Amino acid sequence: MASNPEITDTCNPVPISQEDIEAADKLKNTANDYFKKQNYDTAIEYYTKAIEKNPNNAVLHANRSIANLRLENFGYALNDASTAISLDRSYTKAYYRRAAAHMSLGKYKLALKDFEYVTKVRPNDQDAKVKYNECNKIVKKIAFENAISVDKKEVSITDSINLDAMTIEDEYEGPELEDGKVTVKFVTELMNHYEQQKTLHKKYAYKILIDVKAYLQQQPSLIDIKVQDDEKFTVCGDIHGQYYDLMNIFKLNGLPSETNPYLFNGDFVDRGSFSVECIFTLFSFKLLYPNHFYMSRGNHETRDMNRMYGFMGEVTSKYTTQMADLFTEVYNWLPLAHCINGRVLVMHGGLFSKDNVTLDDIRNVDRNKQPPEDESDFLDRKFVSAPEVTPMAGRAPSRRGVGCQFGPDVTAAFIQSNGLDYVIRSHEVKDAGYEVAHNGKCITVFSAPNYCDTMGNLGAFITMNGKDLKPNFTSYEAVVSVKHNKII
C-alpha cells in the first residue's frame, strides 16, 4: 500500500458523549438532505453544527468539504479534507476531496499525490484513474513548458500566425469580416450563427484575436469611462460560457451600441460549454465599439483556470492548441479595472490585501503576465485571486484558499481615500444575481443564472445613468433548457 501523502493539518480526538454522537448523526442526516437538494449553504450549516457536537467524525469533515467544493470555497474544502485525513488516515474519500481542492487551487503536484494514493488503495475506481491521468498530464505539460520557456522574452503566438495562408472554403456559409473589419452585419450574423451552434471560420477567429490583442496592448490597466448625464450604462458580471443567457441579456437590455454601452466584468469563459461563442461575441463587440464596450479581466482569464475548467479543451476541440495559447496572450492584456465618471470603480474580485491603494496604483500595474506566486505582489494577485466580501470588519483568509475577504471598514476607507461613491465587483454567485453590501458601498453582480446547471440562482445586470450613477438591478432566470448552455 502506498504511503499517505503529507498531512497538512492534525487533529487530536476529544472525549465525546454518546448523546453528542447521536445528535451529530441526526444533524448529519439533515445536512445530507439539504446537500441532495443542492442547497449547499444550508448543508454546510448543519454539517458545522454536527462537527461542533462530534469533531472526531472524519465523515462530517469530508461531507462539509464536498459541499464547500460545490460552492467553490476551495480553501475551506481543503482544510476540511485535511482534517478528515488526520482523523482517519485510511479514508480515501477525504484524499479524493483534498485532491479536488488542490486541483482547483492550481496545486497540481499535491493533487497528484492524493490521486495516486486513491488509485493505489482503490485500483478499480475508474473515476479516480481518470482524475489521476488528467492531473498527471497537467503536471507533465507544465514541466515541459517550464523546460522550453525562453528566459528573456517569450515568443509571441501572434507573430507565428499566417492569416494569408488560411483559405476560406467554398462551402463555408458563416459570417465574414468586411475588409478584415468587424461590422454590425458581421456581429448580427455571428450571433445567429452561434445560436444554430455553428462555428466561425478559423481565419476570422484568429483575425479577431490578433486585432483585440493589438488594441488592448495600447490601453492602461485601469480604464476611465465617461458616461453622459442622460446616457444609460450597463454592467454585467460573470458569464461563464452560458451563451444563451448572454443572448438573453441583450434581449432584455438591448444590443451593445454607441448609445447602449456595456461593461462585462470578467469570467467570460469556463464551466459552460459555449465559452468560445461567448468570448468571440464579446470580442467582436469590443472591436466594433471600442469606446462603448468594455471588458475586465477575471480570475478565469488565466491559463491555469482555463486548463482546469474547460476553456482550453473547448478551444482545442473547436479550433487548435495554438489558438488556446493565443487566448492566454490576449487575456494577459485585458484591463484590470474600470472607473465610471471618477466615482464608481468596477473590478472583478474586489479590494486589496493592503491599505492605501490608489487608482493610480491600479492604473500603473504591469498586467501582461499570469498570476504571480509571490503573495506580496498584491496588486497583480488581487485581480486573479479575487477577494470576497464579508460583513465582518477587517480582512480574513479567503474561503477559496487564495486572496482575502474584506469587510465594510476596508471598503469605506478605500472609497473615501479615492473619492469614490461605491465599488462594483463580480466573482461570486448570488441568489438574486446581485447583492448590495457594506452599507451600499460594495455591490456584487453575477450574470450567469443557474450557474453550472445546479445552483438555481438568478442572473442580473446593473444599469445606471451618468447623472447620478444610481444602480438599478435587473434579475432574470436561466434560459428554459439547460442544454442550451451545457452540452449533455
- Beta partners for residue 345, in sequence order: 339, 423
What are φ and ψ of residue 331, in 5° steps? -60, -35
Rounded CA-CA distance 481/187 in Å is: 24
What CATH number does the domain containing 397 carry?
3.60.21.10
- Write down which residue in 148, 175, 209 finishes a domain: 148
Q: Average pLDDT of each block of 10 consecutive residues along the chain (488 residues)?
A: 41 79 94 91 93 94 92 87 93 91 85 90 87 86 70 71 90 94 97 95 96 96 95 97 96 97 96 94 98 95 86 93 94 95 92 83 86 46 53 68 75 92 93 92 95 89 96 92 50
Within-domain flag for 77: yes
- Write down which residue in 89, 122, 148 finishes a domain: 148
Distances (CA, A) of 321 to 51, 315, 326, 334: 46, 7, 9, 21
Distances (CA, A) of 39 to 46, 364, 437: 11, 42, 22
- Considering the domain architecture, whether residues 51 and 131 belong to the same structural domain is answered as yes
- Considering the domain architecture, whether residues 214 and 116 belong to the same structural domain is answered as no
Q: Which domain holds residue 92?
A: 18-148
Within-domain flag for 4: no
Q: Which of 374, 362, 372, 287 is nearest to 330 (CA)?
A: 287
- Considering the domain architecture, whether residues 139 and 195 belong to the same structural domain is answered as no
- So what's the pLDDT on residue 364? 87
Q: Cα 275–209–232 angle (5° rounding)?
A: 70
Within-domain flag for 61: yes
Within-domain flag for 3: no
Rounded CA-CA distance 58/97 in Å is: 12
- So what's the pLDDT on residue 2? 40
The three cell numbers of residue 235 are 454592467
- Considering the domain architecture, whether residues 247 and 381 belong to the same structural domain is answered as yes
- Considering the domain architecture, whether residues 379 and 442 belong to the same structural domain is answered as yes
- Considering the domain architecture, whether residues 132 and 242 belong to the same structural domain is answered as no
- So what's the pLDDT on residue 453? 85
Per-residue pLDDT of 196-241, as tens digits, reads: 999 999 999 999 999 999 999 999 999 999 999 999 999 999 999 9
pTM to 2 decimals?
A: 0.78
- From 300, 338, 348, 438, the catalytic residue: 300
Q: Which of 479, 482, 351, 369 is nearest to 408 (CA)?
A: 351
Asked if 74 and 105 touch (Cβ cutoff 8 Å), the reply is yes
- Considering the domain architecture, whether residues 345 and 316 belong to the same structural domain is answered as yes
What CATH number does the domain containing 132 carry?
1.25.40.10
Per-residue pLDDT of 249-301, as tens digits, reads: 999 999 999 999 999 999 999 988 899 999 999 999 999 999 999 999 998 99
- Considering the domain architecture, whether residues 238 and 97 belong to the same structural domain is answered as no
- Write down which residue in 123, 148, 173 finishes a domain: 148
Q: Which of 363, 365, 359 is nearest to 222 (CA)?
A: 363
For the chain, helix (H) and strand (E) counts, in that order, are 17, 14
Rounded CA-CA distance 48/36 in Å is: 17
Rounded CA-CA distance 91/81 in Å is: 10
SS3 content of the chain, % helix, strand, coil (to 5): 45, 10, 40
- So what's the pLDDT on residue 486? 55
Within-domain flag for 12: no
- So what's the pLDDT on residue 149? 60
Within-domain flag for 48: yes
- Considering the domain architecture, whether residues 199 and 313 belong to the same structural domain is answered as yes
Rounded CA-CA distance 14/79 in Å is: 19
Rounded CA-CA distance 367/487 in Å is: 34
Report the DSSP pairing between strands 337-340 and 344-347. Answer: antiparallel
Task: Based on the residue annotation, tell me whether 438 is a catalytic residue of this protein.
Answer: no
Q: Which of 390, 442, 391 is nearest to 421 (CA)?
A: 442
- The sign of the torsion formed by the CA atoms of 362, 365, 371, 377 equals negative
Within-domain flag for 10: no
Within-domain flag for 37: yes
Count of structural domains within the chain: 2
- So what's the pLDDT on residue 259? 96
Task: Kindly report the average pLDDT of the chain as a whole number.
Answer: 87
Q: Cα 120–123–128 angle (5° rounding)?
A: 85
SS (H, E, C) 387-414: CEECCCCCEEECCCCCCEEECHHHHHHH
- So what's the pLDDT on residue 383? 47
The three cell numbers of residue 319 are 479550433
CA trace torsion 102, 104, 105, 109 (10° rounding): 40
- Considering the domain architecture, whether residues 144 and 200 belong to the same structural domain is answered as no
- Considering the domain architecture, whether residues 127 and 170 belong to the same structural domain is answered as no
**Element at 281 (helix H, strand E):** helix 275-288
- Considering the domain architecture, whether residues 233 and 100 belong to the same structural domain is answered as no
Cβ neighbours for 162, distance < 8 A, ≥ 6 positions apart: none
